[in-house]
Structure 1
Amino acid sequence: MKITDITPDEYAPYQEAYIKLVDPSYPLIEELEISVHNLVHFVREIPMDKYDYRYAEGKWTIKDILQHLIDSERIFAYRALRFSRNDTTALPGFDENSYAANAHGDDRSINELLTEMSALRHANIMMFKSFDKEDMLRKGTASGYTVSVRAFGFLLIGHQNHHINVFRERYL
């Protein structure tokens, strides 16, 4: 299954920006693998003095954003797991700013953050591989919107790509 198989009723309107950032060339599992390798390679090429840089007062550092990607990946994957198991409990949103303020991303090394991100993504790849077609098509409510299991997989990629673009535009 590729991003072109996703329909607008499988994700929240505000998530369309992330969906559009997913390469349509590859199926979900391949793109999950490719994208995490691209992230690690991209971040390792950033000059070390940029990791703690803030482009404006109160903005996140690159380390903060990596921690945000880790936290978001865990939340999206948890939602995908719940919905894949046909759990129809509506799931609340999360306050990304509160998470960032309490995550201590700046206290961690780039190697720690990238290792955790890579390990987490690989665990999530295994989870998505375990879903059959019916599981992937299941939907639930998260943050007040209907979202499919497969959309969460693509949102992991698109959200990551969004932040790589932010790195390019505001940090480098």
Structure 2
Amino acid sequence: MLKRPKMNEYHPFFERYVTLVPDEKLFDTLKEQQETTINLLRNISSEQAEYQYEEKKWNLKEVLGHMADAERVLSYYLFVVARGDTLSFPPFDKDLYTTNADFNRLDFQDILSDFSIVRQCTSSLIACLSNNAWIRTGTILNHPTTARALAYIIAGHERHHQAIIKERYLLKYNIDLDSNEKRKSF
């Protein structure tokens, strides 16, 4: 069983994500999260996908696109660290990535499908890692970071954004979070 990383295994910035991951099997958590996110967003309309809860904040398309992009980047870091490479990774500019991706030109369901594919690739990578790979260390944000910490960061990052989506986007449209059905039209 993969154990939760210790605080010295990742940059303090990532603590907010790692603490969101429950003490259970990480593999099960990643699969459950993928299903939860897809079920939560599968019936989102084009209008809802373009909603911004505040000026200069991302709309739902951009949030979901960011989730996929961040997971791609973090999974690459995980891959490199797990394979024993010694590259050092600086932070990536999430706003630049989101702007240049131009998620608003895409259909929301296509972004959701892309997110699902990215998670499947992450899950496949994680399932194939050896026991030794989990404790290998690379440098992320100028801090020693283990492969297992990166796996927890990936799971925590999604959980972080699930909460934001529920609180700041779906409640705007009075969507029943359990069934993803509108309780009333808007």
- Normalising by structure 2, we get a TM-score of 0.86
Report the Cα distance in structure 1 between the residues aligned to 2:44 and 2:163, rounded to whole angstroms.
Answer: 13
Percent of aligned positions with the same letter in both sequences?
29
1:13-39 alpha-carbon deviations (Å, 9 max, x no partner): 111111111122x31211111111111
Q: 1:133 is matched with which residue: 112, 131, 134?
A: 131
Distance in structure 2 (CA, Å) of the matches to 1:90 and 1:101: 25
Pairing 1:91–2:122 present: no
Which whole-Å CA distance do the structure 2 matches of 1:23 and 1:111 have between them? Answer: 28
- Match of residue 178 from structure 2: none
Deviation at 1:49, TM superposition (A): 2.8
1:5 and 1:157 map into 2 onto residues whose CA distance is 12
Verify the 8 A CA contact 1:64 1:105 in the aligned structure 2: yes
Tell me which stretches of 4 or more aligned residues in structure 1 moved more than 4 Å. 45-48
Aligned to 1:28: 26
State the match for 1:67 in structure 2.
65
Deviation of residue 169 (structure 1)?
2.1
Conserved 8 A contact 1:66-1:105:
no
Q: Deviation at 1:168?
A: 2.0
Give the partner amino acid of 2:8: D
In structure 1, the partner of 2:8 is 9
1:89-168 matches, within 5 Å, as 89-168=87-166
Residue 89 of structure 1 deviates from its aligned partner by 1.6
Kept after mapping to 1: 8 A contact 2:65/2:103? yes
1:36–1:118 contact (8 Å) kept in structure 2? yes
Deviation at 1:105, TM superposition (A): 1.2
The one-letter code matched in structure 1 to 2:145 is V
The count of corresponding residues between Structure 1 and Structure 2 is 170
Contact kept, 8 Å, 1:138 with 1:148, in 2: the verdict is yes
Q: Is the 8 A contact 1:11 1:148 kept in 2?
A: yes
Aligned position for 1:40: 38
Kindly indicate which of the two structures has a greater share of residues assigned to helix: 1
Give yes or no for contact 2:46–2:108 (8 Å, CA) kept in 1: no
Q: After superposition, give the CA deviation of every residue in 1:56-89 in whole Å (9 maximum; x if it has no partner).
A: 2211001001110111011000001111111112
Gaps of 5+ in 2: 172-186
Amino acid at match of 1:36: Q
